[in-house]
Amino acid sequence: LSNSHFIIHILGANSAKPPIGLNQTSQLLTIGEGSYLLDCGEGTQFRLDELRLKQNRIKAIFISHLHGDHYLGLMGLLSSMSMNHRTADLHIFAPKGLIEILTVQMHFTEFFPEFELNFKEVNSVSLEKIYEDKQIIVESFPLSHRLPCWGFLIREKIGERRIIAENIPENFPYPFLAKIKNSEIVVWNEQTYHFEDISLPPLPPRKYAFCTDTLFLPHIAQWIAGADLLYHDATFETQHEIRANETYHATSAQAAQLAEMSGVKKLLIGHFSSRYANYNKLLVEAKAIFENTELAIQGNFYPIFNET
Ligand SMILES: [Zn+2]
């Protein structure tokens, strides 16, 4: 059965002041032929190149908030896209202010990309659709951080019914196959073919929730419920929970609590504080609450498979 992939590549998972060799937040989500960038810390374009991920396949960029470690790689990436002769439109979703920041930079550097940039301000007050294409729907929802900040829920669209090859008669016309995939009943050679007899339902659509930077917010469980994967701010260990509250971040145990409450299948934690030499304790504390947790490791990729 053919099925397009749905993969999250971690380009960076550290907070501000990362150790040498590690990057600030950025992820590339690849679905089929297209890809989508979530946050764009400094050096994002170089991490894409290292992993041989094509900049020009990026259809849309989603920026959670305007702390530098989440967007300062953007200008460099846009410049490179232009030098690489990108022609396709690019959609950028970000909180208020990013358009002004980039406009000033473009004005004084006399850099004007040859492709179309479509900016949209993210300002949703609950779960609201902000983007849709052939493959996915993206919704944003407010988080709680020192700056206005939003999380993103990326949902695959429901696909076609899947043909059962051995149940299809010889020479069955292709246009009729298309109708079967579209849940229609077909009459051919005086025989009726019911779509349920010769095809299987579409694969269940996959769902990814990206939540950083934020305090632990129990009420967002309703918006991310049942996601296949949740990425969540886990800047601090439990011993630094007070610091997490002061800086509007979460502990890994809180990330795990949210995963548990929202019934997601898997949790990925990141935005690691520079105070920790390694992230074992963050992982152990999360796993004690939600077993299916992994650290977001820069350079690693995390595929989401359809469950049939
Ligand atoms: Zn921040």
> Strands 191-193, 136-142: parallel, antiparallel or unpaired by DSSP?
unpaired
Region 252-269 average pLDDT = 98
- pLDDT (tens digit per residue) in 230-240: 999 999 999 99
Q: 257 C-alpha to center of ligand 1: Å?
A: 21
Q: 169 C-alpha to center of ligand 1: Å?
A: 58
- pLDDT (tens digit per residue) in 175-232: 999 999 999 999 998 999 999 999 999 998 999 999 999 999 999 999 999 999 999 9
Q: 226 C-alpha to center of ligand 1: Å?
A: 26
Confidence at residue 288, expressed as pLDDT on a 0 to 100 scale: 98
Query: What are the CA-CA distances from residue 114 to residues 46, 55, 83, 111 (Å)?
Result: 21, 15, 9, 9
pLDDT above 70 for 1: no
pLDDT above 60 for 110: yes
pLDDT above 80 for 267: yes
Confidence at residue 146, expressed as pLDDT on a 0 to 100 scale: 96
Residues 6+ apart with CB under 8 A from 145: 65, 67, 213, 214, 215, 248, 249
- pLDDT (tens digit per residue) in 36-48: 999 999 999 999 9
Least confident of 48-57, 163-172, 268-277, 288-297: 163-172
Q: 209 C-alpha to center of ligand 1: Å?
A: 17
Confidence at residue 18, expressed as pLDDT on a 0 to 100 scale: 85
pLDDT above 90 for 2: no
Q: 64 C-alpha to center of ligand 1: Å?
A: 9
Distance CA 239, CA 256 (A): 15
Region 274-286 average pLDDT = 96
Closest CA to 141 of 300, 44, 258, 272: 258
Whole-model pTM: value is: 0.93
Q: 201 C-alpha to center of ligand 1: Å?
A: 42
Return residues with CB closer than 5 A to ligand 1 (ion).
Answer: 67, 213
Catalytic residue among 39, 69, 213, 233: 69
Q: 243 C-alpha to center of ligand 1: Å?
A: 14
Q: 244 C-alpha to center of ligand 1: Å?
A: 12
- Both tokens of residue 28? 């590339």
- pLDDT (tens digit per residue) in 48-67: 999 999 999 999 999 999 99
Q: 16 C-alpha to center of ligand 1: Å?
A: 8
- pLDDT (tens digit per residue) in 123-173: 999 999 999 999 999 999 999 999 999 999 999 998 889 999 898 988 899
Confidence at residue 3, expressed as pLDDT on a 0 to 100 scale: 61
Dihedral of CA atoms 306, 251, 238, 268 in degrees, nearest 10, equals 20
pLDDT above 80 for 308: no
Query: Residue 154 is which amino acid?
Result: I
> Which strands make up the sheet holding 293-295, listed edge to edge?
128-132, 136-142, 150-156, 207-211, 229-233, 267-270, 293-295
Would you call 69 a catalytic residue per the annotation?
yes
- pLDDT (tens digit per residue) in 72-91: 999 999 999 999 999 999 99
Listing DSSP states for the chain in one string gives -----EEEEEEE-B-SSPPTT--BSEEEEEETTEEEEEEE-TTHHHHHHHTT--GGGEEEEE----SHHHHTTHHHHHHHHHHTT--S-EEEEE-TTHHHHHHHHHHHHT---SS-EEEEE---SSSEEEEE-SSEEEEEEE--SSS--EEEEEEEPP-PPEE-GGGSPTT--HHHHHHHHTT--EEETTEEE-HHHHEEPPPPPPEEEEE-S----GGGHHHHTT-SEEEEE--B-GGGHHHHHHTT--BHHHHHHHHHHHT-S-EEEE-B-TT-S-SHHHHHHHHTT-SSEEE--TT-EEE-PPP-
- Residues 303, 305, 308: CA angle, nearest 5 degrees: 175
